[in-house]
Amino acid sequence: MDGMSLTTVKRTIRGRVLRPIVARVFPGAVGTDTSQPLPVSVPGSGATVVVTDLGEGPAILLVHPGSTTAAAWAGCAAALSDRFRVLSHDRPTYRRVPALRGAAAMDAEVDEVLAIADVAMEPVLLVGHSSGGVVALESALAAPERFSGLVLYEPPVAVDAPLGGDALRRARSALDAGAPGRAMAIFVRDISGGSPLLARLFSRRWAAAQLADAEAIESLGVGLDRYAGLDLPTLLIGGERSPAHLRARLDALAAVLPRVDRTVILPGQGHLATLRAPHLVTAAIASFADRVA
């Protein structure tokens, strides 16, 4: 190829073509990285998690959704860091290979959030998106004194039925049979209600972790009574165009949590507003943080 390797061609295409497209479609995936990597030891597990530590001020801890990493918060984190100390990390379910499963996975998620919260040396505002919102709820339930409040963007809580049930078992069988694409297609079509395109894009990299994430949520059982005594100010966020089941879950949480400040529905947005409209998500978080910090 005239002295240019296939690898070089691929890198050139990613840099000159794909990255500008991603930046236009998902502006929230792009942020100026002036962070300092902060190694944090997790008591009991022997694990060390590298935390992104950005900005100064009252502390905010961002917990990312499924099928991604802390990079999903990049745009929001950069904007929030103008006035806040913003902490984020790659969740253990999406970092470890193989991922833990079931209750052990949820325990590991909570242990890491609590270890990171300790770094701030003050109660932190805990923000969770999607499955990261369930992790946030469980972390706050385990140690509410470590948090000043909660922001929950469409956590897929199991209100009156298991999150995945038979569909999740079928997805796991497909993954175990060596078909991650089919596994993710089942997950997206029958559980999350997302775009089939996302299933194709993320199947190879994230299928095992995404199913482990869903299984961790299922390990909590069905019902929201466990959160009825969670005495923390809480902001709920939803998208106007999100799947209907996510709005129903958000409404059910609003009826159970004792100190819901308000529910913000982002106009024209769905479940990916952190990427598509980070300014809207950032504004909601910052306004709430100003009231509870």
- Flag whether 16 is in a domain: no
- Flag whether 140 is in a domain: yes
Number of structural domains the chain divides into:
1
The Cα 50–Cα 73 span in angstroms is: 15
> Euclidean distance between the first and final Cα of the chain, in Å?
58
Percent of the chain with pLDDT over 90: 81
- Flag whether 285 is in a domain: yes
- Flag whether 51 is in a domain: yes
pLDDT band at 200 (very low <50, low <70, confident <90, very high): low
CATH number for the domain harbouring residue 62: 3.40.50.1820
- Flag whether 185 is in a domain: no
For 155-189, how does the pLDDT look when each residue is reduced to its tens digit (9 = 90+)? 999 999 999 999 999 999 999 999 999 999 999 99
pLDDT of residue 84: 98
Task: Indicate the pairing of strand 59-63 with strand 36-41.
Answer: unpaired
For 94-139, how does the pLDDT look when each residue is reduced to its tens digit (9 = 90+)? 999 999 999 999 999 999 999 999 999 999 999 999 999 999 999 9
Q: Which residues contact 277 (CB under 8 A, 6 or more apart)?
A: 27, 28, 266, 268, 269
- Flag whether 254 is in a domain: yes
**pLDDT, mean of residues 23-31:** 51
- Flag whether 239 is in a domain: yes
| Mean pLDDT score of the chain | 89
Q: Which residues contact 155 (CB under 8 A, 6 or more apart)?
A: 128, 130, 131, 132, 133, 134, 136, 137, 249, 250, 253
pLDDT band at 45 (very low <50, low <70, confident <90, very high): confident
Residue 81 structural domain: 31-160+220-292
172, 173, 176, 177: CA torsion to nearest 10: -140
DSSP letter (8 states) at residue 125: E
Distance from the Cα of residue 236 to its chain's centroid: 14
- Flag whether 60 is in a domain: yes
Peptide bond into 98 cis (omega under 30): yes
